[in-house]
A and B are shown apart, each in its own frame.
With several copies, the nearest count.
Chain A
């Protein structure tokens, strides 16, 4: 009885964030101009591939937001990693190693964020705002204010629209996204560390008094998120085939929006991986649909703005009914 009840509630809880997504997909599917092409498998694959980069960053951002922080440097971090991968490949470093360099750079920036936040006791907003400038500046520096061309390698096959090898069904990037979503969901929900992250976000003082090493939790949280941004940078390089220091300008707000649309609370203690993914896909399908319809950009901007508000309103209404 009790189990059944909680089971039902869980399903309702799961369906919740999907409402917005289903709405967006339905609306575009009903548009006569694109109806046949919108829900086409190839298009869905293509949207999924486009989402990989934002999704990877948003996974880390979920962890950060759950623990009561915020990371404005995510997009710059991604750009830095993207540039470093190209730089490394140009130096003759093997692609795998180059990718690791990118991921490691992301992790370093993340670690620095965490370190400064905990050591200097600064608010995350400011530290990561500063780091946003620093990482972006470093990226431009490394790239000498240009984009870096690098010879093609298998790295550039990770984000293709049509998967190679074909038995993968979808591109390796999508598999990576799925894999890391699962890992992060388990980390957040099933591990002691995840619980501590929630506790720190919900009430830091309490967590500290209960013997949680809040500083360590935060440093780890930012480092993990940084690593994921680094990975997203590798994916961006894979997609662009060049190291572009100006890539993903302003993307941090999209990433944060995805997490919040998915039910994350900026005051900490709330958020889920599934919700975040839904948030990412809402935004991606919106962009895709608007482009396919050929709507002008300003129209798209207005619609996306309105949908962000609407999606979160829906989510809140659902919560209130509970």
Chain B
């Protein structure tokens, strides 16, 4: 059937891009990347996440609904490496190719997997925090959400690197979950700071938990004193980086991720060979290197041109 499409001359492909949620800055950048690819390649993008952030069951529903709509292809950031397998299988069976991005999916019944190496991101963050702490100190690992795969990898990468490589660093807390909102991360960190005033460093594995932790530190007047390494970027986090209130941000390249995912999908639809695994890279931004243009473009992806 791929042949059919090619022979029917120039046409707009309809592609559904399904993120894990719609309200994080990160996904906005992915969206922008996808739209950019869409504009360049002549693809109409449907951007639709589960209505409740991080709801596996609803994401399955969204995939199913797009199968019903019979789009030409789906780009999916699966909320679960297992639960989304079957809807993806179904899509593939019905001739709708699926590209996976951001988080992995078990099995290999998909076209390609475009993602950051999250474990590596955790490792980078661990190295950075150890560096600013001088290899010893007491720290919090603030987790994001029960069962969220990408952040779990980051947390794992961080935890394993610290335990293996930096015996001088001690975890005061490593099993507390911040939850999905800034406010919940904020309160958690505040309460932890009340309990452990001796803390010296914090790692938070995504934007909302990093920002929550930052706000709590600012609230306690500890910003800059307690070292904070986070993940992803936003305007406030960049400001904090400038003010040396954050010592490091592990940056993915979400625009590239969205762009490549759509591009790979289209390549496949149009019969070109594609790679099964595409790494979009992860970089550590620090107050020192943040003004380099290549870091700057990661900190502030220029997505205003593509999405409002």
Contacts and interface: CB of A to CB of B under 8 A. Distances in A.
Decide if A and B touch, CB cutoff 8 A: yes
A145 B307 CA distance: 11
B80 interface: yes
B182 A247 contact: yes
A203 interface: no
B51 A297 contact: yes
A129 interface: no
A30 to B, nearest CB: 16
A162 B87 CA distance: 11
B195 A37 contact: yes
B308 interface: yes
A43 B188 CA distance: 13
B172 to A, nearest CB: 8
A301 B173 CA distance: 18
Nearest to B16: A294
Interface in B59-87: 60-62, 64-70, 80, 82-83, 85-86
A239 B57 contact: yes
Interface string A279-317: 000000001100111101100110000000000000000
Q: Which of B23, B177, B186, B187 has the most CB of A within 10 A?
A: B23
Given A140-B146, A146-B23, A296-B47, A249 B191 contact: no
Nearest to A149: B235
A249 B181 contact: yes
A51 to B, nearest CB: 10
B68 A147 contact: no
B48 interface: yes
Contact of A246 (B23, B85, B86, B191): B23
Given A146-B147, A297-B51, A244 B86 contact: no
B82 A292 contact: no
User: How large, as a class, is the contact surface on chain A?
Assistant: 35 or more
A239 B147 contact: no
A37 B68 contact: yes
B57 A240 contact: yes
A145 B62 contact: no
Interface string B169-196: 0000101110011110011101110110
Contacts of B48: 291, 294, 296-297
B57 A248 contact: yes
Interface string B228-268: 00000011100000000000000000000000000000000
Contacts of B69: 34, 37, 291-292
A143 interface: yes
A149 B82 contact: yes
Contacts of A105: none
Given A146-B25, A149-B236, A239 B194 contact: no
B192 A291 contact: yes
Contacts of A46: 64-65, 67-68, 190-191, 194, 219
B193 to A, nearest CB: 8
Q: Which of B46, B194, B220 has the most CB of A within 10 A?
A: B194
A242 B236 contact: yes
Contact of B60 (A37, A140, A143, A240): A240
Interface in B189-205: 190-192, 194-195, 197
A46 B192 CA distance: 11
A297 B175 CA distance: 8
A301 B64 CA distance: 19
Nearest to B178: A297
A181 interface: no
A294 B46 CA distance: 6
A247 B57 contact: yes
B221 A162 contact: yes
13 contacts: A46-B190, A46-B194, A140-B23, A146-B28, A147-B25, A161-B64, A246-B145, A250-B52, A291-B48, A292-B68, A294-B16, A296-B175, A297-B176
Given A147-B82, A161-B220, A296-B22, 4 more contacts: A42-B68, A46-B64, A147-B234, A242-B182
